[in-house]
Structure 1
Amino acid sequence: MNDVTSSSEDHNLAMLTHLSGILLGFIVPLIIWLTNKDKADKAWLTAQAVEALNFQITIAIAYVAGSVLMAILIGFLIIPLVILANLIFCILAGIAVNKGESYRYPFALRLVK
């Protein structure tokens, strides 16, 4: 679904928000969300920041679970899968929002609304 009310600047910022999760985790989505959540004209950008934030929180929880499970060796399989999923889904999200489409991650805990 294309969003015609958002600007090209919003598309670029949303792309940066999603792609930053690859290296910086939830920090950039949190900053974007906090700085734009009360601006009515930035509703699309805020929604994308919340989506990225929820996904990065989910990824952080998966990292913690994988680290704990390293004690029984299954964590050594989980951590690379989490890294790969984060990379793939962040790139897919970045491409979609750069085109002006809203992106929703296929799995993420919806903790921030």
Structure 2
Amino acid sequence: MSNVSAPNQDDKTLGLIIWVGTIFTWFIVALVIYLTKKDSEFAQDQAKEALNLVIPAGGVSIVLSILAGIIPGVGFIFSIVGMLFGLAILVLCIMGAIAVNEGRAYRVPFPLPIRLIK
């Protein structure tokens, strides 16, 4: 699990902003909080987790979109896979928001092959 200390109310609020903001702005809110809230260990941890989820997911989404556009006949399959992938990312962000609102450090339940921010 995580070695992050128990969050206070401000940390929980920042964590909630990170995960809900990730739904609407992809990586921007998490990046801004990661760069500006160096004094909050919990917010830093959750911003890293959100960034490690959405940055590789963005790459996967771009690849799926390109494949959907250039492969005639079966491109719609990549479109469907892309929509399901996006839905999975949405669910993971909602799970993150619920966890931090309860005061728990959220970890994405499956390991991504690349953790860009350690």
TM category, shorter: 0.7 to 0.9
Name the residue aligned to 1:111.
116
Q: Does 1:95 align with 2:98?
A: yes
Q: Contact between 2:6 and 2:103, CA under 8 Å: does it hold in 1?
A: no
Q: CA RMSD of the aligned region, Å?
A: 1.8
Q: Does 1:81 align with 2:79?
A: no
Q: Contact between 2:52 and 2:117, CA under 8 Å: does it hold in 1?
A: yes
Aligned amino acid, residue 85 of structure 1: A
Aligned amino acid, residue 87 of structure 1: L
Name the residue aligned to 1:17.
18
Aligned amino acid, residue 69 of structure 1: L
SS in 1 for 2:107: coil
TM-score by length of 1: 0.87
CA deviation after TM superposition for structure 1 residue 36, in Å = 1.8
Name the residue aligned to 1:53.
51
Larger Rg: 2
CA distance in 1 between counterparts of 2:5 and 2:28 reads 27
**Uncovered stretches (5+) of structure 2, i.e. residues with no partner:** none
After the TM superposition, which segments of 4 or more aligned residues of structure 1 sit over 4 Å from their partners? 1-4
Aligned amino acid, residue 99 of structure 2: A
